Every structure is written in C-alpha cells, then in structure tokens.
Structure 1
C-alpha cells in the first residue's frame, strides 16, 4: 500500500515537536493526512508549524497541553475528537527525553522520576488515552518509535536500555491483548542515533529523520500484520 492511503487519515503524533517527530509530521502532511500534535511548549509548536508550512495538502492541528498526567491526556483527547468530528485513524508515539550520561546507580531521585515520566509513563498515558478510541472502532494503527538499546547495553546510558526494554514489552503486550480487535500495533526500533535538522550526523553511517519518517509511513499503511511479530528494525 502506498502513502496515498494516508490521505485524509486523522493521525495523532505524540512527541511531534521532537527532531524525529517533526519529520514524521511533515511526511504525513505531504501525504495528505490530518495531523494533530500536542506539546507543552508553544515555541516548539510554532517551530513545527514554520517547518511544515510548505509540507503539502495535509492539515496540521496543534495544541499547547501537557500530556504527563491523565487529566492532561484527557484534555488532548477531547480537543482531538472535537477538531476531527470524533475521528482517529492512527497514533504515532515518538516520545523520548534526555539521558544523563553517567553511571546508572548515580542517577538522582529527580533524574529517575524525570526519566520515568518521559520514557515510560508518557507511552503508557498515550496508549491508555488513545488506543481505546481505535479499539472502539475496531480499526486503526498504533506505532511506537523506540531505540535499539534494549539489545545492546552501554555504560553511561543504561537508563536508555531500561526504557527500550520497557517500551518493547509494552508494544508486544498491547499487540497480543488487541490481537483480534482489528487494530494493528507496531514498534519501529532505531539502531542508530538519528541525524535531524537540529542535530547533524556524528558518524559515517547514521539514520536520518527522513528515513525514520518514511519507514513509519510504510508501517502505517502496510496491509501485512502479525500480532506476534510487531517489532520492525531500522538500521543505517
């Protein structure tokens, strides 16, 4: 199936103002999708709107709203359904945060809480809030963008391996629980740091945000689905 099938699809991109997320948003707009992006930062949303101003036939809807609590996520859900006439066809969770570059056991309590909120709780709240909308319809796509650290642990960034393992388990579990619902879940695992328009490549072979966006688009339109095999690797 081609990207043409994304035309007029209502897609929520959580994390859509990040370096990877904004490229996914732009790709979806170029394909004619109706894209909704919440963010806690109006400045980040304006930067996204500027970047996507010439992106093509799609529509971009943005909302300044924190999604780190159930109430905040519910506010986004109500806004989305109001804007789109009750429609939601797909969700892309391109969520991440900062990592600290030090020994795992030396993380402070505040750093640990921040890590959990950005890498795990954010994914949980997004799934808890928006996956039921797809399940009620009995159709749709739910895509999580994850890192490859689940299979390769490095000193100084152990928390990324913890996050990647949890995110993969979350996707696999949700896929099995939704196996006969008509909703397709997938995880796109990135085995490289991603070069974006904000962060240039630092290695000879490195994924680009455009490559990630194109692969995400393929997964959102693929007709082949097996709930037992929902993890898809993307390597340089």
Structure 2
C-alpha cells in the first residue's frame, strides 16, 4: 500500500472508533437477532447488559457467545421482565444502572414475526392483542431507558424493526401495523429527545442470518453484521459527541446494504438497494419459499 493511502482521508478509510469503556444495553439480546447485536457490540469493546426473564436463557446466551470466541467477561446478564409493567421495567433499568453503569447506547430488539388471516377476517380480540403486545414492550423500554441517556454526549437509542414496517405483506396486517407504529414512534422520539442529545436510530431489517437459520442465502446480512453496523455508528457518534437530530432510518434488506448503512449521516433516511420486495420478504421470513429460492439472487423490483 502506498504511503498516501495510509494517510487519513486517503485510500482505505480509518476504522470507526471502538466502544471500549462504553456501556450498552440490548433489550431482547437473548433472542435470535438480538444475540448477533450483542456479539457485534462485544467485538467493538463495549460492556453489554442483556436483560431477560430467565436465568437459563442468559446462561445459554453466554455459552454460545463464549463458544464463538466472544469476550463474555464484558457481558452483564440482568434478570428482569421488561414486559411485566411500569414498576418492573423501572426496576430493571435500575438494576442495569447498578450492575453495568450509565448506558451510552440502548438497543431495543423486541418483537417478532407472525402471519395470520387477511385484515378483513382478523378477529377484534386477536387484533387488539397483537397491537397491544407489539407496542407495549417498546413503550416500556423507552420510558425505562431513554431518561438514562439524556445529556450523555453522543448517546443513542436504536429500535430494531422489520421490513413489514414499510413493505405491504399479505397476511401480516397486525404485525405490519405494529411495525409501522414502531417506525413512527422512533421518529417522534427523535424529535422529542434531540434537545437532550439522544440520537434515535431505526433499523428496518429484511431476513437476516441467525443461529437457527443456518442455510441462509449468501446475499442475506447476518445478525452479527447488523450488530457491527450499530457498533460502528455508535462509536463514531460517541467519539464526536455531536448534537442529535431527526431519527436515522436505515433499511438493511440484503448484505449489500451494510456499507450504506455504516456511512449514512445522522438524521438521514436510506432505503435498501434491493427495492420493493414485500412478497418475497414474506416468504423468506416465514419459511414458505424453497431453499433453492432462498439461495438465489436477492429480491429485486
């Protein structure tokens, strides 16, 4: 490599600042996607607090991360139920503060995917349950953890969402409505918290490779790669300690979106390079397409 290429601003870009000495929290970190985010933050040097209801889930998470070579000495398991209500959520946040210290980054990797009947045939009880359960945990997480981020230079709050937030998928009416609500909640939260210096980011993910999706297509991003993007962006923001602004909305539908996600400036909105892919994303996320299709080319218009 030429000397000029090693100079700042030339050739290969400088690596993003690490998260050494920083405290992060991943709500839902014992889940499929959350585990990859935890791994990415640990690799970047962060101390990572992971709340969960059960000791067994946290122990299993630690074992998998250790087997994968991750530095689990910086993993902070916290027993608590975020969804149990206001008092339980506040007690959980207090335990995180006591065990791990004031957080610089909180990631909410909450919720999941479910298919059902068409909206016109969806029963009212099922609809109300889906909307209530889908949004409740996110709101409790916001109330419990966002006040801990206020007035911490470069602090961030990241909400992990699915492609159903932006792409219409038959059979996903309730889940899509929840996802769209979460996406708007992130944007409203950013408008409200920018004065406190909290930068809010919303990640809209397509199907990602996780521990249970071992036969993922080569064009799919992995949960660990998503975690790496979150860590890189948080490292730059914390190193700069700049002012917060509108919500950063990043789509990662394929591995090709990872670089663009890393480079998006705070407050930016970046659609995925794969274009509109609602129907095929539905098939990929619910397993209703064959492995041959899953291993093929990424979705296009």
Give the TM-score normalised by the residue count of structure 2: 0.70
Structure 2 residue runs without a partner (length 5+): 1-13, 255-301
Counterpart of 1:215 in structure 2 is: 229
Q: How does 1:219-230 map to 2 (within 5 A)?
A: 219-223=233-237, 227-230=245-248
Take 1:110 and 1:47, find their aligned partners in 2: how far apart are those partners?
Answer: 35
Greater strand percent: which structure?
Answer: 1
Q: CA deviation at 1:72?
A: 1.5
Cα shift readout 1:180-229 (whole Å, capped 9, x = no counterpart): 22211111111x21121112355563232122112222232233876235
Cross-structure match for 1:176: 191
Question: How many matched pairs?
Answer: 234
Corresponding position of 2:100: 84
SS at structure 1 position matched to 2:70:
coil
Secondary structure of the structure 1 residue equivalent to 2:199: strand
1:109 is displaced (CA, Å) by 5.6
Q: Larger relative contact order (C-alpha < 8 A, sep ≥ 6)?
A: 1
> SS of the residue aligned with 1:5?
coil
Match of 1:74 among 81, 87, 90: 90
Supply the distance in 1 between the matched residues of 2:70 and 2:59 (Cα, whole angstroms). 15
For residues 219 and 49 of structure 1, what CA distance do their matches in structure 2 show? 25
Residue from 52, 55, 71 that aligns with 1:39: 52
Q: TM-score, normalised by structure 1?
A: 0.88
Aligned residue in 2 for 1:63: 78
> What is the CA deviation profile of residues 78-133 of structure 1, one whole-angstrom value per residue up to 9, with x for unaligned ones?
11111134x12110011113413332344456644553354211111101111011
Residue 197 of structure 1 aligns to a residue in which SS? coil
What's the C-alpha RMSD, in Å, of the aligned pairs?
Answer: 2.4
Measure how far apart 1:41 and its partner are: 2.6
Please identify the structure whose Cα radius of gyration is greater.
2
Q: 2:219 aligns with which of 189, 201, 205?
A: 205
